[in-house]
């Protein structure tokens, strides 16, 4: 008789968990739409470099390189990084141009928990390209204190 009751108790949790995850993925998708203005984002040309296993989420080295000749005719206009499960989906947005010479960005970020990251680059022809990364965090950035 215990087993069905346990199942009954677990049922609401089972319903809630995936919905919570969807909500955060949806928040990230919304932030990406805010950056792209609804344009199509294709995978490729962007390389995000971040350790797949992070011990300390308080300062995680992250770099993004975009494959581009960075000429007046063909360059990267902007790079934005988004996350799925921090309190806010936005991480950083940078603007660059042919004066940059190389489309490269490096910084240190905070990760509240294990999650997916998405880097999106806007090219001068108006197209958007992206790269995903999955990161496992063992010690989260202190959201709780």
Tokens of 21: 């995850």
Contacts of 95 (CB under 8 A, 6+ apart): 77, 78
Among the listed residues 24, 68, 86, 115, the single contact to other proteins using CB under 8 A: 86
* Contact code string over 32-71 relative to other proteins, x by CB under 8 A: --------------------------xxx--x--------
Element (H, E) at 32: helix 2-36
| Beta-sheet strands, E only, within the chain | 41-43, 46-50, 53-56, 60-66, 76-83, 90-95, 104-109, 115-123, 128-139
Nearest-approach distance from CB 134 to other proteins, in angstroms: 17
Of residues 51, 88, 134, 138, which one binds other proteins by CB under 8 A? Answer: 88
- Quick one: which of 102, 132, 134, 139 contacts other proteins (CB under 8 A)? 102
Under the binding rule (CB under 8 A), the answer on residue 139 touching other proteins is: no
For tokens 């950056």, what's the residue? 35
- Cβ atoms of 50 and 61 closer than 8 Å: yes
Q: Which CB sits closer to other proteins, 19 or 99?
A: 99
Q: Does 97 bind other proteins (CB under 8 A)?
A: yes
Nearer to other proteins, 14 or 53 (CB): 53
Cα-based distances in Å from 142 to 17, 131, 134: 22, 27, 20
- Which of 16, 95, 126, 139 touches other proteins by CB under 8 A? 95
Query: What residues make contact with other proteins under the rule CB under 8 A?
Result: 58-60, 63, 83, 86-88, 90-102, 104-111, 141-145
């Amino acid at each position: 008789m215990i087993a069905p009751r346990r199942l009954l108790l677990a049922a609401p949790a089972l319903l809630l968990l995936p919905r919570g995850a969807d909500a955060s993925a949806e928040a990230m998708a919304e932030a990406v739409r805010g950056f792209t203005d609804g344009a199509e984002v294709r995978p490729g040309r962007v390389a995000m470099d971040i350790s797949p296993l992070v011990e300390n989420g308080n300062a995680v080295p992250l770099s993004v390189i975009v494959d581009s000749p960075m000429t007046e005719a063909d360059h990267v206009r902007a790079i934005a990084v988004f996350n799925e499960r921090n309190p806010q989906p936005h991480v950083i947005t940078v603007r660059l141009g042919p004066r940059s010479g190389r489309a490269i960005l490096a910084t240190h970020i905070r990760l509240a928990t294990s999650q997916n990251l998405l880097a999106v680059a806007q090219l001068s022809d108006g197209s958007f390209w992206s790269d995903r990364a999955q990161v496992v965090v063992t010690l989260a950035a202190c959201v709780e204190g």
